[in-house]
Structure 1
Amino acid sequence: MPVIAGDFRNGVTFELDGQVLQVIEFQHVKPGKGAAFVRTKMKNVITGAVTERSFNPSDKFEDAYVERKDMQYLYADGDLYYFMDTETYDQVPISKDTLSDNFRFVKENDIVKICSYKGSVFAVEPPFFVELVVTETDPGFKGNTATNTLKPATLETGAEIRVPLFIEPGEKIQIDTRTGEYLGRAK
């Protein structure tokens, strides 16, 4: 089913010149003179590049269906990371190059979203929030309760983030994987 530029909405994915694009922003413009057009800001879902372009409202594009599937992270072997489909138990190896920087917050057995287009995996999305144990950090000192002072800490996945001074090794904390920020102690 074709996608028509005049029907663009945020989140619509379509194919243009072999690229898979997702509409981030759109604006219908009707100038006093001349034909109407659709000003569009789009993101290439595979490379992440953002571009702007204007289209005629009657322009047609091929619909691009991006599959997002929940899979369980099993283990890493060299540059290959193995994921299992929890319904079929099929294992899928994915190259380290495909993984984003925030994959450092994923530990074995976590459920992640595998994004693919026409069978080709282009992204692995970890959950937005994870709970991880702090394995290494400098000890806090009694009375050291400054709220905006941070220190480096190593997590059970090997990732390093900055945490408040009162966090001790062995504590479980919450992290926002999109920003890599400490959110609080896990409950």
Structure 2
Amino acid sequence: MKIDGNAVRPGNVIEHKGGLWRAVKIQHTQPGKGGAYLQVELKNLRDGSKLNERFRSSEKVEKVRLEQRDYQFLFQEGDMFTFMDIESYEQIALPQDDIGEQAVFLRDGMAVQLEMYDGAPLGVHLPEQVELTVAETEPVVKGQTASSSYKPARMDNGVRVMVPPFVNEGDRIVVATEDTSYVKRAD
């Protein structure tokens, strides 16, 4: 689907220079001389390279629609992660490079969404929040009662999270997968 160059938004996937690119950041610029343009930071979905491009409103850009499919994470073998299509039970293995830093949050049986283009997987979307167990944290230091005081903690999967002082070892907490931030205590 063709769209105007100034209609690109963060998260959009476009076909550009023979590859598939996701718009990461955009900035509208109107110089004193000449026409306005959109400065777009693009990330290649195949190899992860980045590119900065300028698109004017008169230019047309090919916006790509990705198919979202529900999969279940089965297991990890080396740096390969195996997922199963929930509908067809077909299995697919992806290298860690395709999953990125989010791989540490994958648990056996976890429901995820795979982005597909022409039958080939491009990326994995994990749930926004996951429950983890605190494996190690420092004890509370008396006198640090400021509401913004947080302490470092290591989760059972190795991820480091800044947690409030009342969280102790063995507690279950909810962590945001996007930025590994503490959300709340698990119910």
Give the TM-score category using the shorter length: 0.7 to 0.9
Q: Check the 8 A contact 2:13/2:63 in 1, yes or no.
A: yes
**How far does the alpha carbon of each residue in 1:109-153 deviate from its partner, in whole angstroms, 9 at most, with x for none?**
11122223333323222212111222x214636967645140332
1:145/1:69 Cα in 2 relative to 1: closer, same or farther (>3 Å)? farther
Q: Tell me the SS of whatever aligns to 1:169.
A: coil
Q: Which moved more, 1:71-80 or 1:164-173?
A: 164-173
**How far does the alpha carbon of each residue in 1:36-84 deviate from its partner, in whole angstroms, 9 at most, with x for none?**
4532424225127352413351x33333222332211111112211111
Aligned to 2:69: 69
Q: Counterparts of 2:55 and 2:90 in 1: how far apart (Å)?
A: 43
Q: Counterparts of 1:9 and 1:141 in 2: how far apart (Å)?
A: 48
Q: Counterparts of 2:38 and 2:75 in 1: how far apart (Å)?
A: 44
Aligned to 1:41: 40
Aligned to 1:92: 92
Q: Counterparts of 2:57 and 2:159 in 1: how far apart (Å)?
A: 47
Q: Check the 8 A contact 1:172/1:186 in 2, yes or no.
A: yes
Q: Tell me the SS of whatever aligns to 1:54.
A: strand
Structure 1 unaligned segments of length 5 or more: list them: none
Structure 2 unaligned segments of length 5 or more: list them: none
Is 1:120 matched up with 2:104? no
Q: What is the RMSD computed on CA atoms of the aligned residues?
A: 3.0
Q: Check the 8 A contact 2:137/2:151 in 1, yes or no.
A: no
Q: Counterparts of 2:57 and 2:140 in 1: how far apart (Å)?
A: 64
Aligned to 2:154: 153
Q: Counterparts of 2:8 and 2:36 in 1: how far apart (Å)?
A: 14
Q: Counterparts of 1:133 and 1:169 in 2: how far apart (Å)?
A: 8
1:52/1:142 Cα in 2 relative to 1: closer, same or farther (>3 Å)? closer
- TM (normalized to structure 1)? 0.77
1:143/1:53 Cα in 2 relative to 1: closer, same or farther (>3 Å)? same
Q: Counterparts of 2:106 and 2:68 in 1: how far apart (Å)?
A: 17
Q: What displacement does 1:90 show?
A: 1.2
1:182/1:56 Cα in 2 relative to 1: closer, same or farther (>3 Å)? closer
Q: Tell me the SS of whatever aligns to 2:154.
A: strand
1:145/1:173 Cα in 2 relative to 1: closer, same or farther (>3 Å)? farther
Q: Check the 8 A contact 1:4/1:60 in 2, yes or no.
A: yes
Q: Check the 8 A contact 1:137/1:154 in 2, yes or no.
A: yes
Q: Counterparts of 1:14 and 1:142 in 2: how far apart (Å)?
A: 51
